[in-house]
Amino acid sequence: MRVCLSRDCLSPQIWGAVTRTTMAQVCRLGLLLALLLPAVGASKPGAVVRLNKEVLSYVSKVGKGPLQQALQVTVPYFLEQRGEGLQPTRVQILDVQVPRLHLYFVDGMGIRLLAAANFTVKVFRVPEPLELILPVVLLADAHVAQGSIGTPVVSISACLLLFDKAIVFDDTHSTPPALLVLVQQHVRAVLRNKVCLSVSNLVQDLNVHLGTLIGLKPVGPESQIRYFMINAPNITKNYISLDINAVLFLLGKPILLPVNATPFTLPEQVGTRGAMVTVGLSQDVFDSALLLLQKAGTLNLDITGQLKSKDNLLNTSVLGQVIPEVARQFPEPMPVVLKVRLGGTPMVTIHTNNATVQLSPFIEVLAAASNSAFHSLFSINVTVNLSLQLSVSKAKLQGTLSVLGGIQLTVASSNVGSIETYKVHALIDAVFEKPLLDHLNALLGIGVALPNVVNLNYVTPEVFVQEGYVVISSGLCYQH
C-alpha cells in the first residue's frame, strides 16, 4: 500500500494516532538505542524539521479509518432482569463511523484531537434484538516531547468522551425506556474504560516508528549519517519544529567540525507556503559531508585513456608536443595517467540562490615505462570552482556540479625539466574536467539521507538556497 503525504495526503501511521503509550517494548528499545548513541558532544542543531499544520489538515480526512478501527472495542455481556433473576445478554458494536475528525496544534503542548463518532450497537435480546446508534464526541490532547534517545515521543495528556442520546433502530416492539437507559449506561461505561486506552494503543507503533529517526542511514560503503533531536520541540498553533543534530560517521567514527558558537535557526517565513514539511540544513551539514568524502578518499580518482583511441590525449606523444623532454624520454607513445588526490578540505559556500564548492586537488602525471612501471613526469596543484545544484529524490538530498570558469593550475614539481604552465593548461583542462565531473556527480548522485523515519519519502520537493543554509519544502510519502 502506498499513501502519499502531499497537500492532499499523509500517512495515518505517522500522525493519525495523535496519542500516547508507555509500553515496555518501547522502553527496552529506547534503552538499547540510547546505549548505541555515540557521545559526540554536539549541542547545536545542524538541521531544523518543521511539520506544518497542513499535515494535520490531511489527517482530519485520512485518519478516520485507523481511528474507526481503534474504536471498535469489545463490549461484555449486559445483565438483564428477566423473570426472577439476571440473565446475560450479548452486546456487540457492529460498526463505528467517524464523520468528523479535526486536529489542531496547541501552543507549547502538542496536538488536540476532536472527533465525532457514531457507534452502532446491537443487543441480542429475545425475542427481538435491539439496535441503536450512540453518538459520541471524543476529545484528546496529545503531548509531543523529546524522548530520552533523541526522538519525538507522543503521549496522551487528557482524554474525554461526551455522549449524546441514543437513536433506536426500528423499535416496533417499543423497548421499555428503563431497559434503554440501562443499555446506554452499560455501553457508555465500557466506552469510557476502553476507548481512550484503544486510541492510546495506536501510539505504540507510532513511537516505535518515530524511533527510527535516529537510525544510521548509509551515505557510502563505509559512511553513515544519523539525526537526533537535541532539545524539546517548539510547538506553535501553526507547526511543530524539531531541532535536529546531524552527525556523519566514517568507519564508525563521527566527523566533527570545530564548534561554532552561533546555533542554526530556521526563520519563520521560508520555503513554500502550504508545504507539509519544511527542512532547513545548515552549512555545517554540507561541510561535514564534504569532509567525510575527503577523509574517505572517495574524491580521489585516476584518469586514464586508451592508447589506441584516436581521440586519446593521455599519451606521451601528445604530451611531448608541449614538453620536449617528454618526447625525448618516450620516443614511442606510452599511456599517461593522472593521479588526482584531494589533500585539502573542500570548501562549500552557500549564498542566496548560489551554492559553490572549491576543490584544490594535487595531480601527479605519470607515464608507463617499457617495463610496465609508471614513471612520474611532473605534478601540479589545481584549483577548481564548481557550481552546486541541489535536488531531492525520495528521502535523499542529491547534488550536481558544473565547473565555474576554468581551472587554475601551478606546477609543483617536474622530472621533465622546465614546464611552461600555459602550454600544459589546455591539455590538462581537456582531459581533467569531464572525468572529474563524472566522478563527483556519481558520488553526489548517491545522495545524503534527509531527516526521516523508515519508509518515509519526500514528494514534490522544492529546494531553496539561502544565505548560509538550504531549505527544502515538500510533501511526504509513506510506503509500507
Q: What is the pLDDT of residues 64-79, one digit of tens each?
A: 888 899 999 999 887 7
Summary mean pLDDT of the chain: 84
Mean pLDDT value across residues 370-393 = 91
Residue-wise DSSP of 85-115: EEEEE-EEEEEEEEEEEEEEEETTTEEEEEE
Residue 12 has pLDDT above 60, yes or no: no
Residue 9 has pLDDT above 60, yes or no: no
Spatial distance between the Cα atoms of 441 and 436, rounded to a whole number of angstroms:
8
Mean pLDDT value across residues 258-270 = 80
| Domains defined for the chain, CATH in brackets | 14-212 (3.15.10.10), 257-479 (3.15.20.10)
Residue 17 has pLDDT above 90, yes or no: no
Spatial distance between the Cα atoms of 115 and 196, rounded to a whole number of angstroms:
12
Mean pLDDT value across residues 248-265 = 82
Mean pLDDT value across residues 446-472 = 93
Percent above pLDDT 90 for the chain: 55
* H-helix or E-strand spanning residue 265: none
Torsion of CA 251, 257, 259, 262, to 10 degrees: -120
Helix (H, G, I), strand (E, B) or coil at 52: strand
Residue with cell 519544529: 241
Quickly state the pLDDT bin for 308 (edges 50, 70, 90).
low
Helix (H, G, I), strand (E, B) or coil at 417: coil
Nearest to 10 by CA among 45, 61, 47: 61
Spatial distance between the Cα atoms of 31 and 24, rounded to a whole number of angstroms:
11
Residue 4 has pLDDT above 60, yes or no: no
Percent above pLDDT 70 for the chain: 86
Cβ atoms < 10 Å from Cβ of 310:
5
Residue 159 has pLDDT above 60, yes or no: yes
Mean pLDDT value across residues 331-335 = 89
Decide if 156 contacts 141 (C-beta within 8 A).
yes
pTM for the whole thing? 0.82
Question: Is 427 or 63 the better-scoring residue by pLDDT?
Answer: 427
Q: What is the pLDDT of residues 229-249, one digit of tens each?
A: 999 999 999 999 999 999 999
pLDDT (0 to 100) of residue 18 = 34
Cβ atoms < 10 Å from Cβ of 395:
22
